[in-house]
Structure 1
Amino acid sequence: MSPDLVTPCGVVRSAAEVNEQIRALWSHPQVPLTAAQREEYARLCAELRQAERGDAVEAA
């Protein structure tokens, strides 16, 4: 499992949780993302793809 899927406390996030965070980045469609936000968006999209594919397994 990718370390990106695990939160600092060791809990795997669901696709819904990751999607919610992606939506929070886009405060308004007309406002461009900063460089840091674009990096976070790319990381979150990769995490979302993995969660949707089922690569993420609930942490014990």
Structure 2
Amino acid sequence: MSPTPPDLVPRRSVEELNAAIRALWIGPGGHPAVRLNPERRAEYERLYAELDRVRRGDVTTAA
């Protein structure tokens, strides 16, 4: 069970999620990362799944 009920989780827009995903790929000095470490890869997968749900309309996006 999730520690935060789904109704209380803030919903992000497609733009916000895309920005968060892009930020994961920026490495030191502002250069694109070639690979993500395991922690960043897990965050990427979580963000991508959230983005997919938003695009499909499974959740309501933030106003």
When normalised by structure 2's length, the TM-score is 0.69
| 2: CA distance, partners of 1:50 / 1:43 | 11
Q: Which runs of 4+ in 1 moved over 4 A?
A: none
Residue in 2 aligned with 1:51? 54
When normalised by structure 1's length, the TM-score is 0.72
Greater RCO, CA 8 A, separation 6+: 1
Distance 1:35 1:54, change over 3 A: same
% identical equivalent positions: 50
1:24-53 CA distances to partner (integer Å, 9 max, x unpaired)? 000104x31110000000000000000111
| 1: CA distance, partners of 2:25 / 2:61 | 28
Unaligned runs of 5+ in 1: none
The two structures, once aligned, show a CA RMSD in angstroms of: 2.0
Pairs within 5 Å for 1:1-60: 3=6, 6=9, 11-27=10-26, 28-29=32-33, 31-58=34-61
